[in-house]
Amino acid sequence: MTGRFHVVGIGPGDPELITRKAERLIGAAAVVAFHAGVRKESHARRIAAHLIPVDAVEEELRYPVTTGTTDHPGGYVGAMADFYDECEARLAAHLDAGRDVVLLAEGDPLFYGSSMYLLDRFRDRFGVEVVPGVPAFAAATATIPAPLVRQTDVLTVLPGTLPEPELARRLADTDGAVIMKLGRTFPAVRSALEQAGRLEGAMYVERASQPEERWLPVAEVEADSVPYFSLIVVPGDSARRSVVEEAARGRLETSGLDATTGPAQSRDRPATSRDGRGATSSTTSVAELLVVGLGPGPDGWLTPEASTALAEVEHVVGYAPYVNRVPQRPGLQRHASGNTVEVDRARLALDLALRGERVAVVSGGDAGVFGMAAAVFEAAADPAHPEHATVPVRVLPGVSAVQAVAARAGAPIGADFAVLSLSDRLKPWSVVERRLRAIAEADLVLGIYNPASRSRREQVVETQKILLEHRSPDTVVVVGRDVGRAEESLTVTTLGGLDTDSIDMLCLLIVGASSTRVEPNGTVWTPRWVD
């Protein structure tokens, strides 16, 4: 009989936050293991010292390195790998001998906990049990105290070791946030909070639940005073009003805040309200809504007009990958969503503009080519929301994907051409098929958007068959994949030789006309004249 491996969460520091189950297991343990820092007392053992049996075997697992340097030939990674090999051997000896082992874990074992690495090694060899503990961020939130998230708020837990731009973007995208792993990362974390417009309201908590506990606004923290046992709490309510002023007065009374209150109200702008008939009344002016094409990807393909507009708006609305391309800055709020809710996005943007907010709806490529421009006008024309028709809308053009692929190839769309999406989400396939035949019979160059996806493979196969009914198998085909990005590729083939299995949503196809040519150097172009 082998022993059982128990990974026991003991909370953030206050012994009274240890669960009854953890207390029972520690008190009955034959072997108690715990991690310790370099030349430091084990924090985990200190928390649970009063529960460890006097006759228990104690295994101190002392790290060889934490934030310092090491002379190990494999560097930090090599030193830690050897350390966990040693830990595994020491604890496995007890388990093989039939002795149960309790590994103490600060906070919750599986929340950024070192114990998970030994759990990975033992789960297939011994019986294992994990006892959850109160995580540090829960204790920190209770310390402030302020609601972390409420109703439909989204909570994001972030390591402070993320690159500063990525941290800023994620902070701007969420309601509530917790930032772990501070210490030397604090200056970059503070900068990211400021860039995201979330510095006001962010609270720094040090040694939560411990006798040395302290908390204060992040803006007031001295960077050289931040220890490892600290974190930052960004309450969801701080996206709408600051908790700092309340904290300074020693009270954080937020129960009267309506969680649906938007940014306009937080800046003391009057809100637009609807009556029972859907009409609106407001004392604020309606703002112009911008619909911005971001181009296919590279910053150099973003127009100066679009760049200027994005630097001035207060909200960016769009499909998440496109919203992520907009640089974060103080005061910018992001509203990212999935790929099939275009009209919902448009309505959100129109509602924000009605409240006087400066809003940009963003699209990849050109917003008017299978982009968000049509969705915005569709939402604005909805009779169920007549107030949306009062919002002025301006579309800012961008470099379209078909232009980008054509430019890489040469000039395949130098004469008459058509563009078509193979997606049948908004139109039946019979319509797509009829249009394909008409374009093929007219001998037009054809740009094909949305040719295939993981769940939609047959359309591109059918398209090839339909075009071959009217075009020569030697017809030139250009396949552009991820054009403008680091992974871009450009393939020049023929209609008969097109490998449809290689086509996905990252591709755009250009099917040439009968006059389209390929030069010896690979340049593809279509003459402007027709014989």
**DSSP class per residue in 464-529:** HHHHHTTS-TT-EEEEEESTTSTT-EEEEEETTT--GGG--TTEEEEE--TT-EE-TTS-EE--S-
38 CB neighbour count, 10 Å cutoff: 11
What is d(CA 393, CA 426) in angstroms, rounded to the nearest whole number? 23
Mean pLDDT, 10 residues at a time, the chain of 531 residues: 95 96 96 92 94 96 84 89 94 96 95 92 94 95 89 93 87 90 92 87 92 92 87 86 43 31 35 39 77 92 95 92 86 81 93 95 96 96 96 97 96 96 92 96 96 88 96 97 92 96 94 97 95 76
Q: Where in the chain is the domain with CATH 3.40.1010.10?
A: 4-133, 286-396
CA dihedral 247, 253, 256, 261 (to 10 degrees): 20
Three-class SS state of 307: helix
What is d(CA 176, CA 400) in angstroms, rounded to the nearest whole number? 36
Question: Which regions of 199-267 does DSSP assign to beta strands (E)?
Answer: 203-206, 214-217, 230-234
- Cβ atoms of residues 393 and 349 within 8 Å: no
CATH number of 286-396: 3.40.1010.10
* Token couple for 461: 């196969």
Three-class SS state of 14: coil
What's residue 284's pLDDT?
Answer: 64
Kindly state the greatest CA–CA separation across the chain.
99
CATH number of 138-248: 3.30.950.10
- Cβ atoms of residues 106 and 10 within 8 Å: yes
Domain 4-133 grouped into CATH 3.40.50.2300: no
What's residue 327's pLDDT?
Answer: 87
Position 36: which residue type? A
Q: Where in the chain is the domain with CATH 3.30.950.10?
A: 138-248, 402-525
Fold type of domain 402-525: 3.30.950
Q: What is the CA radius of gyration of the chain?
A: 30
Dihedrals φ, ψ of 117, to 5°?
-70, -35
What is d(CA 417, CA 526) in angstroms, rounded to the nearest whole number? 10
